[in-house]
Structure 1
Amino acid sequence: LNWIASPNSTTAASFVATREIIKRGKSFTDGDYMKDSFIKISEHLFSDFKNKTEIIQKIKDMPLSAKTVKERAIKMAGNITNQQIKDINSAPAYSIACDESCDVIDIEQAALLCRYVNSDGPQEEMIELIPLKGQTRGEDICEAVLKCLNDNGINTNHLISVATDGAPSMRGSQKGFVTLLQKALDRNLLAFHCILHQEALCAKTFPPECMEVMNLVIKMVNKIIAKALNHRQFRALLDEVDSEYSDLLLHNKVRWLSRGEVLRRFVACLEHVKTFLKSKNLNYPQLEDTEWLEKLHFMVDMTSHLNMLNKSLQGRGNTALHMLEAVLSFERKLTVFARDVQRGTLSHFPSLREFKEAYHDHTLNGDYLQCAIVDMQTEFGSRFSEFRKEKMTLSFPVTPLEIDPSLLNTFPGVIQADLEMELADIADKDLWVSKFKSLTAELEDVTRQKAQLQIFSNMNYIKSKYRTRLTDESLQSCVKIKVTSYMPDVEKLSSDVRKQKSH
């Protein structure tokens, strides 16, 4: 409070207020709204202060117009980038991840993320949101990423790993981004296909009949929700019968998690759905077909298990080892699931168990369901084979003194003979052993941090249909401020502003 009321503090306060605007998802045009709210709160907050009038006047004098907010956001983002670059170049090694998505006006935006270790421990940061306004071939992405790294003065000699999705433009063997990046750097990198993306692909390996069940559910949900009158009447029906749920959910094809939620909600409201569709003379004989219903309840349970895996893989701070262990654990669970449906115990299939209890005369097709699970398990095993080969290497930072160095796929720039000698030298030194234990604890702590680093969700929220004219520089600045863990150096920024003659 003393800082806000101190002389020459309006510029610093405007930087802080601007950061709050961005963090709360407000637009540049909300600067005056934020300022008015700040003044109203301050009237009450400083009511007992002798210099209340001076404090309120300082706040009123705070430059917080839309233009000021824009300029402050760009300056803070630049300051944060400088801090990031300094830490990255100080790190002995770092890895990058590159992903792309279209914004609201169909400009392809490539998000470049970087993971490294600084004095505060492991960091995972967005370096830049790169607009690709022409083609998005592998060479275009590679050129843009290299330009970003070079323009920011990031030392590419320390780059050891790159992760992408499985698109041909990213992982093509001849002209993919990863291949071209390795050629440009003239060395091999540890290249990974995003675990989360591969998990989503594995989840789509249900038999065609099961996928048809999902498609029909979506069709029925659309019949109810897409038309306003039908939607209102269905919600009124659910309210009248005191249903646990007040509505159905729509499936978003971009988000795999929505599929399981749609199925679960649909089954929970199934009897009410039947009643409503009949009242509208919409005939779906599948709703009375026990074989179709069996597949529906099976899909509810399997998508629920997949959603649990998906959530465990999401979040900021997950290490590759942690994610791989989660996938390998799920592969083992698939063996348990297959045995469960084959025996008919259904201990891990609550929805299917309820269906079986409700339809005593129906015999479950255990062989079919077991084959569906086994096929999915095979797909998991195939897609994650490259990660499985690297498990020992990924485990090395956690248990370096327990692994034979000759079995490791060493990082670029690491000489295996030197590594063996160094490990032998420190194996019996308590200082180094304790440091490795400390690093393990830090990695576990980072893994528990589930603060989402959802770049594209924030991008679409900031550059919405109401802000389509937001410039590339402004969008980049806002997204960076929104998702970064760094704090801009407000004192330095405000002092630099005050040095200008106009101030």
Structure 2
Amino acid sequence: MGSEYEVLLYHTEVRWLSRGKILKRLMALRTEVMFFLKEKECPLLEYFNSVEFIHGLAYLADIFGNMNEVNLSIQGPEVYIMDAAERLQALLGKLGLWRRRLEVGNYANFSMLEEVLLHDEVERNKPLSASLQNEMCEHLDTLQNSFTGYFSSGDLKVETWICNPFSTDVNSIDDSDLAKDDIIDLSTKEMLHCEFDSKSLGEFWCSLTQAYPRLAKRAMKALIPFATSYLCESGFSGLVNIKTKNRNRLDVQHDMRIALSNIIPEFHLLIEGKQQQSSH
């Protein structure tokens, strides 16, 4: 690795969320960190005395913060693959825009870098070096290329009527598609329109498996695929909370089912079937 910035970039590209927060915190406390390193006579102090390192640190704090926002927006139980694909498409367009702005010295999308370059009392009037600016632009190009293949082209082609069958232009659907009849019929049902507004997309189409099986089957094929590993990670988090070192022999099968299910148990029926312990 050549510059101090490249070293920092290499060690921070592994994890988005945690390291994004660490970098922002490090930028906010860099003066205190410098005093601490100086007191301990740590060789890392030379990095914090480097203008190029501070500029690179500010850029990384900004870009990881932007990635964190996207990452959080595609997590959750009600996020479908079309939602994630749309947000990724928006990010791809923004990355190209950010690169062009950065290339001409516009730091509007990098608040910490702009603060350091224009308003910071210590770093002010110390321009961004041309070599570091080129590295940042190359990094944005790399990010754009890496996210381009995140979803296959087939994942992005979701029939528009799945997202909202009541505002879909039925004339855009091929006449040979038998689903067109069902969509026309469905779009006239005012009660179903009210249900669509009050339910999640998954709940709405699940409720139509009997009335419109053809539509429901095609809709669920688009809604069921996992967009991210969020559900898996939340499952492991639930397992960690349930199975501790004091309960390491616990068979967690039923406990996990309750922890991960959205169904609320009927506790009163469960209690009625049990014998209460009498007082002594």
Instruction: State the TM-score, normalizing by the size of structure 1.
Output: 0.42
Alpha-carbon shift at residue 297 of structure 1 (Å): 1.0
Mapped to 2, the partners of 1:215 and 1:342 lie a distance apart of: 22
Q: Which residue of 1 aligns with 2:256?
A: 479
Amino acid at match of 2:145: T
After TM superposition, list the pairs within 5 Å mapping 1:74-113 onto structure 2: none
Q: Which residue of 2 aligns with 1:212?
A: 7
Alpha-carbon shift at residue 455 of structure 1 (Å): 1.4
Alpha-carbon shift at residue 347 of structure 1 (Å): 0.5
Amino acid at match of 1:373: L
Q: Does 1:372 align with 2:139?
A: yes
- What SS does structure 1 have at the residue aligned with 2:247? coil
Mapped to 2, the partners of 1:294 and 1:429 lie a distance apart of: 57
The runs of 5 or more residues in structure 1 that have no matched partner are 1-206, 218-252, 407-415, 447-451, 499-503
Among 363, 376, 381, the residue aligned to 2:148: 381
Q: Does 1:315 align with 2:76?
A: yes
- What SS does structure 1 have at the residue aligned with 2:248? coil
Alignment deviations for residues 195-216 of structure 1 (CA, whole Å, 9 cap, x no partner): xxxxxxxxxxxx9975621577
The 3 A distance-change label for structure 1 pair 211 and 468 is: farther
Mapped to 1, the partners of 2:43 and 2:11 lie a distance apart of: 12
Q: Does 1:468 align with 2:245?
A: no
Alpha-carbon shift at residue 375 of structure 1 (Å): 1.4
Mapped to 2, the partners of 1:369 and 1:464 lie a distance apart of: 44
Alpha-carbon shift at residue 368 of structure 1 (Å): 2.2
Q: Does 1:351 align with 2:112?
A: yes
Paired residues of 1:294 and 1:364 also in contact (CA < 8 A): no
Alpha-carbon shift at residue 479 of structure 1 (Å): 2.7
Instruction: State the TM-score, normalizing by the size of structure 2.
Output: 0.71
Q: Does 1:421 align with 2:181?
A: no
Q: Does 1:283 align with 2:43?
A: yes
The 3 A distance-change label for structure 1 pair 488 and 329 is: same
Alpha-carbon shift at residue 315 of structure 1 (Å): 1.5
Paired residues of 2:95 and 2:144 also in contact (CA < 8 A): yes
Mapped to 2, the partners of 1:436 and 1:489 lie a distance apart of: 30
Q: Which residue of 2 aligns with 1:458?
A: 238
Among 335, 340, 343, the residue aligned to 2:101: 340
Alpha-carbon shift at residue 344 of structure 1 (Å): 1.0
Among 425, 431, 455, the residue aligned to 2:188: 431
Alpha-carbon shift at residue 343 of structure 1 (Å): 1.5
The 3 A distance-change label for structure 1 pair 260 and 457 is: same
After TM superposition, list the pairs within 5 Å mapping 1:7-18 onto structure 2: none
After TM superposition, list the pairs within 5 Å mapping 1:193-212 onto structure 2: 210=5, 212=7
The 3 A distance-change label for structure 1 pair 325 and 277 is: same
Paired residues of 1:331 and 1:380 also in contact (CA < 8 A): yes
C-alpha root-mean-square deviation of aligned residues, in Å? Answer: 3.2
Q: Which residue of 2 aligns with 1:296?
A: 57
Q: Which residue of 1 aligns with 2:24?
A: 264
Alignment deviations for residues 248-267 of structure 1 (CA, whole Å, 9 cap, x no partner): xxxxx7x6311101111111
Q: Which residue of 2 aligns with 1:71?
A: none
Paired residues of 1:301 and 1:350 also in contact (CA < 8 A): yes
Alpha-carbon shift at residue 429 of structure 1 (Å): 6.5
- What SS does structure 2 have at the residue aligned with 1:292? helix
Mapped to 2, the partners of 1:292 and 1:468 lie a distance apart of: 47
The 3 A distance-change label for structure 1 pair 320 and 282 is: same
Q: Which residue of 1 aligns with 2:213?
A: none
Alignment deviations for residues 269-328 of structure 1 (CA, whole Å, 9 cap, x no partner): 101111111111112212112222221111000000000001111112112211211111
Alignment deviations for residues 423-475 of structure 1 (CA, whole Å, 9 cap, x no partner): 136526753477367436633698xxxxx8621112112222333232x3xx2
The runs of 5 or more residues in structure 2 that have no matched partner are 204-229, 276-280
Mapped to 1, the partners of 2:40 and 2:86 lie a distance apart of: 49
Structure of higher CA gyration radius: 1
Paired residues of 2:102 and 2:137 also in contact (CA < 8 A): yes
Alpha-carbon shift at residue 421 of structure 1 (Å): 2.7
Mapped to 1, the partners of 2:254 and 2:31 lie a distance apart of: 50
The 3 A distance-change label for structure 1 pair 379 and 436 is: farther
- What SS does structure 2 have at the residue aligned with 1:397? helix
The 3 A distance-change label for structure 1 pair 444 and 208 is: farther
Amino acid at match of 1:304: G
Alpha-carbon shift at residue 480 of structure 1 (Å): 2.6
